[in-house]
Chains A and B, each alone.
Chain A
């Protein structure tokens, strides 16, 4: 169990890189960028190592590291990896370097940028791997600081208020989350997620919380809920997102949408659902409505944007809401006789797939928009471009793959996740699936509109002059991403194989007493 601490390495190597950058104040720009990239790639490398030795038949935590830490609070340094975490680690491993390459030539003071970026990456990995609330919360909160500075110092015109709003919202949610866990600790004496999950499954947690009397048990649930709802985000706690994503520099937007939003969804799946199955079930239907709101309204809002980044930001809300929709639908339906069976399995698989695939496709979308922005001298309105396809065909082609993946075209990775989600939700709560289709429609509309206005038609706007096609660095990102989108579109079992046992296990008891 306590052999080579692979998971600790995954988390700490990026931080070691940040420390190295901090201690070398005279490192040149090029060297800083290279150092950062190397440390960022370490995640992918170590993730693949883990993947190699990952036991795909087991649903329990692997590579577990557990050390006693703070006796008086019963806190342990506890890291562990299951299919869900592995998926997200790999996602982070892909998006980390990609985000760096997006800002490769643009970021000023790359040493500082790299330092912050690596801290952010390490924190995100910590969130996905930590299994004890104490240091999980460390990582959760720690990710805010570099994100704030990355947005504020390298962001666009409205960066300062966007960053401020982002941090304040998330910290507010975190304050509630903290209070909720304070109460949980008071009730159970432990902060360990697997232990709490088993307490939640057996109903002991609910019973302990009920001992508080009054409305406090519900308050605890709401507290924990809010922490994750703000992060994911779940409508209506999403208002911080469009500004933050839009004003952030390209690489950071990619990381935000690809990884940080998944932290929220991860929190729902790893923490909220196992610990509060009963309460989640009780409010699942209203939550389904919220998710639908996010999905549908997000997509429709995207349609109305002229700023390309904001468009993709709202689209992120839409895509993440599908994941949450699936989860809430499963929870809503879990009271009935057979816990959902195939439909629940489909919904959950779809949600996990969607997490991964959306990360890839949205990341690629932001990357492409960043390229457009760089070539137009900072403009990124939808009307600022036209006929890019003829000006930069390679770019258009690769970008198109990303767009259609986001749209959910069969054959590309985006389709599988969405399809499974819809199939699952239809089996569980058909009305929700119907309404969610509106979101699909709107997404299709705005993405096609995007494609048409920017890439087709006569060359206009920035594209009127000569614009360069994708450069070498940019292709390093676009080509693999496109390849992955095609690969996982055609062979989704490569991904589902990682977490199938997990889904089965979740399905088997679906966390209801």
Chain B
């Protein structure tokens, strides 16, 4: 367990090594990146195996850092962080596999990539608000460069929008955090201390502080109406980056809402709970409806990410044990599923067909030309729809139960979102992959025949990545208790208990 902080250090080391290896050859950089990502993931899995779920954060490292500010280098883990750490490792490894074909400035690509991952690991391990914030911001700059240099559609605009929104969100969070910190006499950035400090503020200030911190984090989570950066940014990003951005980095925002904002001020939360929940369900439905009208397949997935994150936010807003555990489960589930979706569309499909427009794809029988891609996309699509048997179902079910217990109307509108998700996902599947000739012919047309597109086979890294992700979503779909047994005890901690009301058992 004590090796767990090494996931951060390994990733950082890997970033530097990739940069150096990239000077020799792109292949060297790739292998360095893969080994590093896999090693960091292995560290988290090892810790997961040894992990004993408990209600409090289990400290890994606690050193004095900036005594003048009262900040400590304090790393700790609980069930919620454990879940997300494992997700990060998985998404990172799969992302490296799906970025195997990056040929220009490969070393720099993986350097930025691993730096981003290091920041993400750091956020999930931080138990000091300043340290949390530092890692959170570390993750911002690599995002910009990953998209601006290696991206596709509208990449400079998408990158800038994404970076600025993220930074603006974090600036708002910093304002709120410093406000509370100062009110507490500037002694400590520990979560419990900040909560105590917040309690000394007058009610209006508490409401304002909570609003600042929550909405600052929720911006990165894609809360409506601050979500517009997400589809643009994720579409512009290269595949490996989209997988990570939509899959894990958006969860940073939700994690911040859960870990930092939620316990900060029960009074503030009580004021904001209903607006947040309504914004979340509106986001679920609205993003789904917009996805239904998109022409670019990647945009469909981008909006579907916003819609799924709406579920996470709803779970957090409902603030009972069931809903929040469902939210964390959904964070994991969507992380995997979004990774799959972007991987297929970006890497397997776009890199070969060079189009993502549904109006063009529907004329091509992709399912015969790229059967593996179609199969994986179907699996990802049905998982995304919340089909039972995959990880999305237990997550959404638990959130719905929790939401119902909080306010029936929220659950009802959210259930509508499930239906809309089915509609746009199915449309994407149908138009994107199953267009072309109506009847399957005797066999797929011989390769290389005049007029028939000839696509390269799906490479081994792609297949490996896909298998990893599919296995994860099926495993969690069939055995969600593997994760819920970690998450539920963590919600028993005093900080959460002060905010969580009763609810589903």
- Contact with A73, one of B398, B418, B426 (Cβ below 8 angstroms): B398
Say yes or no: B408 contacts A72, CB within 8 Å.
no
- Contact with B401, one of A71, A141, A154, A182 (Cβ below 8 angstroms): A182
State how many angstroms separate the Cβ of A82 from the closest Cβ of chain B: 23
Closest-by-CB residue of A relative to B365 is A153
- Contact with A182, one of B397, B419, B422, B485 (Cβ below 8 angstroms): B397
Closest-by-CB residue of A relative to B387 is A141
State how many angstroms separate the Cβ of A25 from the closest Cβ of chain B: 9
- Contact with B504, one of A171, A186, A219 (Cβ below 8 angstroms): A186
The answer to whether B423 has its CB under 8 Å from any CB of chain A is yes
Contact bitstring A178-197, B, C-beta under 8 A = 1, else 0: 11001101100100000000
B350-409 interface (Cβ within 8 A of A)? 378, 382, 385, 387-389, 393-394, 397-398, 400-401, 404-405, 408
Tell me which residues across on chain B come within 8 A of A168, comparing CB atoms: 422-423, 426
Tell me which residues across on chain A come within 8 A of B235, comparing CB atoms: none
The answer to whether B430 has its CB under 8 Å from any CB of chain A is yes
Q: How distant is the Cα of A252 from the Cα of B182 in the complex, in angstroms?
A: 69
Q: How distant is the Cα of A159 from the Cα of B68 in the complex, in angstroms?
A: 71
Contact bitstring A145-169, B, C-beta under 8 A = 1, else 0: 1001100111001011000100110
Say yes or no: B426 contacts A179, CB within 8 Å.
no
Closest-by-CB residue of A relative to B431 is A160
Say yes or no: A141 contacts B388, CB within 8 Å.
yes
State how many angstroms separate the Cβ of B307 from the closest Cβ of chain A: 14
Say yes or no: A108 contacts B480, CB within 8 Å.
no
Contact bitstring B400-442, A, C-beta under 8 A = 1, else 0: 1100110010011001101100110011001000100011111
The answer to whether B325 has its CB under 8 Å from any CB of chain A is yes
Contact bitstring B462-497, A, C-beta under 8 A = 1, else 0: 000000000000000000110011001000000000
State how many angstroms separate the Cβ of B59 from the closest Cβ of chain A: 26
Say yes or no: B440 contacts A153, CB within 8 Å.
yes
With A70-B394, A145-B382 known as contacts, the answer to whether A189 contacts B505 (CB < 8 A) is yes
Q: How distant is the Cα of A183 from the Cα of B441 in the complex, in angstroms?
A: 47
State how many angstroms separate the Cβ of B151 from the closest Cβ of chain A: 33
- Contact with A108, one of B400, B415, B439 (Cβ below 8 angstroms): B439
Q: How distant is the Cα of A265 from the Cα of B290 in the complex, in angstroms?
A: 36
Say yes or no: A154 contacts B484, CB within 8 Å.
no
Closest-by-CB residue of A relative to B418 is A175
Say yes or no: B412 contacts A72, CB within 8 Å.
no
Say yes or no: A72 contacts B481, CB within 8 Å.
yes
Tell me which residues across on chain B come within 8 A of A145, comparing CB atoms: 378, 382, 387
- Contact with B426, one of A134, A142, A167, A214 (Cβ below 8 angstroms): A167
Say yes or no: B440 contacts A108, CB within 8 Å.
yes
With A70-B480, A70-B481 known as contacts, the answer to whether A179 contacts B387 (CB < 8 A) is no
Say yes or no: B393 contacts A138, CB within 8 Å.
yes
With A142-B388, A183-B408 known as contacts, the answer to whether A178 contacts B480 (CB < 8 A) is no
State how many angstroms separate the Cβ of A200 from the closest Cβ of chain B: 19
Say yes or no: A142 contacts B416, CB within 8 Å.
no
State how many angstroms separate the Cβ of A472 from the closest Cβ of chain B: 24
The answer to whether A74 has its CB under 8 Å from any CB of chain B is yes
Closest-by-CB residue of A relative to B427 is A164
Say yes or no: B405 contacts A171, CB within 8 Å.
no
Say yes or no: B488 contacts A72, CB within 8 Å.
yes
B311-327 interface (Cβ within 8 A of A)? 322, 325
Tell me which residues across on chain A come within 8 A of B426, comparing CB atoms: 148, 164, 167-168
Closest-by-CB residue of B relative to A178 is B415
Tell me which residues across on chain B come within 8 A of A148, comparing CB atoms: 426
Say yes or no: A179 contacts B412, CB within 8 Å.
yes
State how many angstroms separate the Cβ of A354 from the closest Cβ of chain B: 29
Say yes or no: A159 contacts B418, CB within 8 Å.
no
Say yes or no: B441 contacts A137, CB within 8 Å.
no
Q: How distant is the Cα of A153 from the Cα of B440 in the complex, in angstroms?
A: 7
Q: How distant is the Cα of A31 from the Cα of B190 in the complex, in angstroms?
A: 66
Closest-by-CB residue of B relative to A157 is B438
For the residues of A in contact with B, the DSSP-based class is: helix
With A74-B505, A108-B439, A141-B388 known as contacts, the answer to whether A178 contacts B397 (CB < 8 A) is yes
A66-108 interface (Cβ within 8 A of B)? 69-74, 108
Tell me which residues across on chain B come within 8 A of A219, comparing CB atoms: 412
Q: How distant is the Cα of A73 from the Cα of B388 in the complex, in angstroms?
A: 15
Say yes or no: A167 contacts B388, CB within 8 Å.
no
Q: How distant is the Cα of A153 from the Cα of B429 in the complex, in angstroms?
A: 13
Tell me which residues across on chain B come within 8 A of A56, comparing CB atoms: none
State how many angstroms separate the Cβ of A149 from the closest Cβ of chain B: 8
Q: How distant is the Cα of A167 from the Cα of B426 in the complex, in angstroms?
A: 9
Q: How distant is the Cα of A139 from the Cα of B141 in the complex, in angstroms?
A: 45
State how many angstroms separate the Cβ of A416 from the closest Cβ of chain B: 37
- Contact with A175, one of B388, B419, B488 (Cβ below 8 angstroms): B419
Say yes or no: A72 contacts B411, CB within 8 Å.
no
Closest-by-CB residue of A relative to B442 is A108
Closest-by-CB residue of B relative to A223 is B415
With A137-B388, A153-B440 known as contacts, the answer to whether A71 contacts B481 (CB < 8 A) is yes
Say yes or no: B480 contacts A142, CB within 8 Å.
no
State how many angstroms separate the Cβ of A120 from the closest Cβ of chain B: 14
Say yes or no: B401 contacts A185, CB within 8 Å.
yes
Tell me which residues across on chain A come within 8 A of B411, comparing CB atoms: 179, 182-183
State how many angstroms separate the Cβ of B132 from the closest Cβ of chain A: 27
Tell me which residues across on chain A come within 8 A of B382, comparing CB atoms: 145
Say yes or no: B440 contacts A212, CB within 8 Å.
no
The answer to whether A135 has its CB under 8 Å from any CB of chain B is yes
Tell me which residues across on chain B come within 8 A of A71, comparing CB atoms: 481, 484-485
Tell me which residues across on chain A come within 8 A of B430, comparing CB atoms: 152, 160, 164
B290-338 interface (Cβ within 8 A of A)? 322, 325
Q: How distant is the Cα of A135 from the Cα of B481 in the complex, in angstroms?
A: 14
Tell me which residues across on chain A come within 8 A of B322, comparing CB atoms: 72
Q: How distant is the Cα of A134 from the Cα of B401 in the complex, in angstroms?
A: 13
Q: How distant is the Cα of A179 from the Cα of B427 in the complex, in angstroms?
A: 23
Contact bitstring B438-473, A, C-beta under 8 A = 1, else 0: 111111000000000000000000000000000000
Q: Most B CB atoms within 10 A — which of A135, A175, A183?
A: A175
Say yes or no: A179 contacts B481, CB within 8 Å.
no
Contact bitstring A41-81, B, C-beta under 8 A = 1, else 0: 00000000000000000000000000001111110000000
The answer to whether A109 has its CB under 8 Å from any CB of chain B is yes
Q: How distant is the Cα of A493 from the Cα of B389 in the complex, in angstroms?
A: 39
Tell me which residues across on chain A come within 8 A of B394, comparing CB atoms: 70, 73, 134
The answer to whether A451 has its CB under 8 Å from any CB of chain B is no
- Contact with A183, one of B404, B419, B423 (Cβ below 8 angstroms): B404
The answer to whether A172 has its CB under 8 Å from any CB of chain B is yes
Tell me which residues across on chain B come within 8 A of A175, comparing CB atoms: 415-416, 418-419, 422
State how many angstroms separate the Cβ of A209 from the closest Cβ of chain B: 11
State how many angstroms separate the Cβ of B364 from the closest Cβ of chain A: 15
Closest-by-CB residue of B relative to A113 is B440
With A70-B481, A142-B387, A152-B434 known as contacts, the answer to whether A185 contacts B504 (CB < 8 A) is yes
Tell me which residues across on chain A come within 8 A of B397, comparing CB atoms: 73, 134, 178, 182
- Contact with A171, one of B325, B398, B422, B488 (Cβ below 8 angstroms): B422
- Contact with A179, one of B400, B440, B443, B484 (Cβ below 8 angstroms): B400
Tell me which residues across on chain A come within 8 A of B400, comparing CB atoms: 178-179, 182
Tell me which residues across on chain B come within 8 A of A157, comparing CB atoms: 438
Closest-by-CB residue of B relative to A74 is B505
State how many angstroms separate the Cβ of A178 from the closest Cβ of chain B: 6
Q: How distant is the Cα of A362 from the Cα of B434 in the complex, in angstroms?
A: 30
Closest-by-CB residue of B relative to A214 is B408
Q: How distant is the Cα of A175 from the Cα of B418 in the complex, in angstroms?
A: 7
> Which residues does A use to contact B, with CB under 8 Å?
69-74, 108-109, 134-135, 137-142, 144-145, 148-149, 152-154, 157, 159-160, 164, 167-168, 171-172, 175-176, 178-179, 182-183, 185-186, 189, 212, 214, 216, 219
Given contact pairs A171-B419, A178-B397, enumerate 14 new A-B contacts (beta carbons under 8 Å).
A71-B481, A72-B484, A144-B387, A145-B387, A148-B426, A153-B434, A172-B419, A176-B415, A179-B412, A182-B397, A185-B504, A186-B404, A186-B405, A189-B504
A sample of 9 inter-chain contacts (CB < 8 A) reads A72-B488, A108-B442, A141-B388, A152-B430, A164-B430, A172-B419, A172-B422, A185-B401, A214-B408
